Structures are given as structure tokens and as C-alpha cells.
């Protein structure tokens, strides 16, 4: 495994000034050599010109958040991360690698979740290169590598968890535990991307839905589950209110205005009150203006 280390290079600005001087000197010597037909001056002009040419081909330029991977006949000789005009061995070849933060969105994939239901899922991945040697020599085309591994990780994540559960609140789901799911995806991506010298900064599920062929059925199931859960809450609340109402009637404010009820009347009162409170439609009660006793 290749590990990045600093390259030996220098600032190119002083050498650029020297190169300009050498080119001016070369031109001047050529003019003198032609006018005087002097062989030594011609030789000096050639030497100075060759020196200026060697210096000229030794320059390379790096932008901020850009690194230069230096190679000598195919051998790694280090990485230069200093921005600006740089100069190094003229035999070096420079491969520039961007260190900027990048992001992309995976394609929306159709995959079966842990329950076997087909879903459509996509994610956004934010990443950057941290080790230029690994990115250059560890994998072939590290950008394609990161994108391919991200697609694979998203598919694997979708297969590991159900989209939703309707009867088990303790189960981790794709739709209900987004924070945990995103953390799981981030860890999976980082494990895969480290081979390319890449750090994954963030990953988030962006698109998540049932596949069109089952979307209507699952929507009706979700609506039915929501209705059942709501009815359970309504009935629980109605039972508590009926119990409190019966106890308040029997207790009253003092012994003079209490209304004692026998078991039959309690049952009738509870049934009527539960019908009014738990019904999902407006009720039309029938008022008995007579007496309950025969």
C-alpha cells in the first residue's frame, strides 16, 4: 500500500526570474555571436539556452486545494501540496489531484428491503481525497471507484433493513430511523473508500419510496395501521373519561347531590357515553323523557 509523503520541491518564482535572465542572455549572446562570427560565443549561447530550457520544463503550478504527485520514471517521489508556481527535478512527471470536497448523488436503484418489498433508494455522498498516493496508485480511477462503491453500499444498506414496520417499534427501519441509517451508511462507505485514500465526510439518504407496483397497497396498509392506532387511543381515552364520569356522579360534591347507580345503569350509561365519544361519526342521541323504573 502506498502512503503519501512530501516531495522535494522549491518555490518557482526566483527560478522564473533566473530563467528570464538566462533567455535574455541567450538572445544577447546569439546577437553577439552572429555579428562577430565567434564560435566560443555561439557555444556559450547554446549552453545558456539549454540551461534556460531545462529550468523552463521544470516548472509546474498548483492551485489551492490541489496536490501534485511527482514520479521519476514511474517511481513515486512524493506529493507537493504547496500552491503556486513550483519547480522540481526536470525529469519528474506531475499528476495533479484535486483535494477539494466533492459530492454526487447515486442513481435511484430498485432493490428489495429486508422484508422482501421492492423499494427505490438513492443517497448523496460528500467526500474528498486525503492520501494522494493511495488515490493515484491504490485503485484505478479513484472517482469511478468511489461512485461504484457508493452504489453498492446503498444497495447493501437497503437489503439490511426493512422500509417500515407496522407492529414492531423496536426494529430499525429505513424510513423511521434516518439518523442511524445515515450513520450506518457513512461507516460502510468509509470502510470501502479507505483503499482509495478517500475520506467520506457525509452520506444521506435522499430518495426513499416503495416501488410503484406496490406503492398503492403499502399506502393503504399504512393508512389502515394509522386508523387502528388512532382508534386504540380514542377508546383508551373514552374508557378513562367514562370511568371518571361514573365516579364523579356517584361521589357528587357532597352526600346530598350524589347519584348512586346500580350495575345495570352503570352499564347503560357507559355504553351510551362510549358510543358518543368513540364514534367516528356524529351521534344523534334519543332522549328518554320518561322514567327508567316500571
Average pLDDT of the segment spanning 193-209: 90
What are the boundaries of each domain within the chain?
10-98, 102-210, 221-278
Element (H, E) at 80: strand 75-80
> Which residues, listed in sequence order, are joined to residue 128 by a DSSP beta bridge?
199
Q: Is 100 helix (H, G, I), strand (E, B) or coil?
A: coil
**Listed residue (1, 44, 286, 277) closest to 139, CA to CA:** 1
pLDDT at 104: 92
pLDDT at 283: 63
Residue 79 pLDDT greater than 50, yes or no: yes
pLDDT at 200: 94
Domain 102-210, second-level architecture:
2-Layer Sandwich (3.30)
pLDDT at 176: 79
pLDDT at 150: 92
| Integer CA distances (angstroms), 48 to 26, 32, 43, 272, in order | 6, 14, 9, 111
Q: How many angstroms separate the most distant Cα atoms in the chain?
A: 147
pLDDT digits (tens, 9 = 90+) for 149-179: 999 999 999 898 888 776 656 778 888 788 8
Average pLDDT of the segment spanning 185-197: 91
CB-CB contact of 206 with 190 (8 Å): no
Ranges 3-17, 26-40, 156-170, 212-226, most confident:
3-17
**Listed residue (192, 76, 180, 187) closest to 132, CA to CA:** 76
pLDDT at 294: 47
Residue 53 pLDDT greater than 50, yes or no: yes
Ranges 109-118, 144-153, 172-181, most confident:
144-153
Average pLDDT of the segment spanning 29-51: 88
Residue 292 pLDDT greater than 60, yes or no: no
pLDDT digits (tens, 9 = 90+) for 279-291: 666 666 666 666 5
Residue 253 pLDDT greater than 50, yes or no: yes
Amino acid at each position: 500500500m502506498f502512503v503519501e509523503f512530501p516531495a522535494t520541491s522549491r518555490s518557482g518564482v526566483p527560478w522564473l526570474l533566473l530563467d528570464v535572465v538566462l533567455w535574455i542572455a541567450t538572445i544577447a549572446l546569439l546577437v553577439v555571436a552572429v555579428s562577430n562570427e565567434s564560435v566560443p560565443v555561439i557555444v556559450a549561447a547554446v549552453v545558456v539556452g539549454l540551461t534556460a530550457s531545462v529550468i523552463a520544463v521544470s516548472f509546474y503550478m498548483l492551485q489551492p486545494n490541489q496536490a501534485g504527485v511527482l514520479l521519476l520514471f514511474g517511481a513515486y517521489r512524493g506529493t507537493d501540496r504547496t500552491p503556486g508556481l513550483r519547480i522540481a527535478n526536470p525529469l519528474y512527471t506531475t499528476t495533479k489531484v484535486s483535494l477539494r470536497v466533492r459530492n454526487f448523488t447515486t442513481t435511484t436503484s430498485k432493490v428489495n428491503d429486508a422484508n422482501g418489498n421492492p423499494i427505490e433508494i438513492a443517497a448523496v455522498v460528500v467526500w474528498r481525497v486525503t492520501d494522494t498516493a493511495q488515490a493515484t496508485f491504490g485503485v484505478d480511477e479513484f472517482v469511478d471507484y468511489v461512485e461504484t462503491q457508493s452504489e453498492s453500499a446503498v444497495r447493501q444498506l437497503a437489503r439490511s433493513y426493512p422500509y417500515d414496520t407496522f407492529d414492531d417499534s423496536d426494529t430499525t427501519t429505513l424510513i423511521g430511523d434516518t439518523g442511524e441509517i445515515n450513520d450506518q451508511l457513512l461507516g460502510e462507505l468509509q470502510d470501502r473508500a479507505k483503499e482509495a485514500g478517500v475520506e467520506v465526510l457525509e452520506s444521506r439518504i435522499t430518495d426513499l419510496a416503495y416501488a410503484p407496483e406496490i406503492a398503492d397497497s403499502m399506502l393503504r396498509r399504512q393508512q389502515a395501521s394509522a386508523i387502528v392506532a388512532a382508534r386504540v387511543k380514542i377508546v383508551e381515552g373514552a374508557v378513562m373519561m367514562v370511568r371518571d364520569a361514573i365516579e364523579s356522579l356517584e361521589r357528587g360534591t357532597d352526600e346530598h347531590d350524589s347519584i348512586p347507580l346500580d350495575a345495570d345503569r352503570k352499564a347503560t350509561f357507559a355504553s351510551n357515553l362510549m358510543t358518543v365519544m368513540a364514534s367516528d361519526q356524529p351521534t344523534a342521541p334519543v332522549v328518554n323523557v320518561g322514567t327508567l323504573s316500571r
